[in-house]
Amino acid sequence: MAGFLDRAKEQAQSALEQGKQKVDEVQQQRAGNDLLKKLGTAYYAEHSGSGSPETTRNALSALEAHIRAHGDAFLRS
């Protein structure tokens, strides 16, 4: 009986870790999508005359930093 409970506990821990990992991935994808949207907004504002090149550069830098830290998988989803 103890062996069964130990295996069940291990499986539960594994499932919990997988769930946490998936939540982290989703949060990283959302953050990447938000940064991509901010870049698009900044670019549009700059080219329509209401934004600045500095804002666009800052948005691009933030997106590039996110990609370096978390990868670019969110761009393919």
- Give, for all 77 residues of the chain, the pLDDT tens digit: 778 888 999 999 999 999 999 999 999 999 999 999 999 999 999 999 999 999 999 999 999 999 999 999 999 86
What confidence score (pLDDT) does residue 2 get? Answer: 79
Angle in degrees, 0-180, between the axes of helices 2-47 and 53-70, rounded to the nearest 10: 160
What confidence score (pLDDT) does residue 21 get? Answer: 96
What is the rounded CA–CA span in Å between residue 71 and residue 28?
Answer: 9
How many residues can be counted in the chain? Answer: 77
What is the rounded CA–CA span in Å between residue 56 and residue 42?
Answer: 5
Instruction: Give the global pTM.
Output: 0.81
Contact assessment for residue 55 and residue 45, using Cβ atoms and an 8 Å cutoff:
yes
Q: Which is it for the CA torsion 32, 34, 36, 39, positive or negative?
A: negative
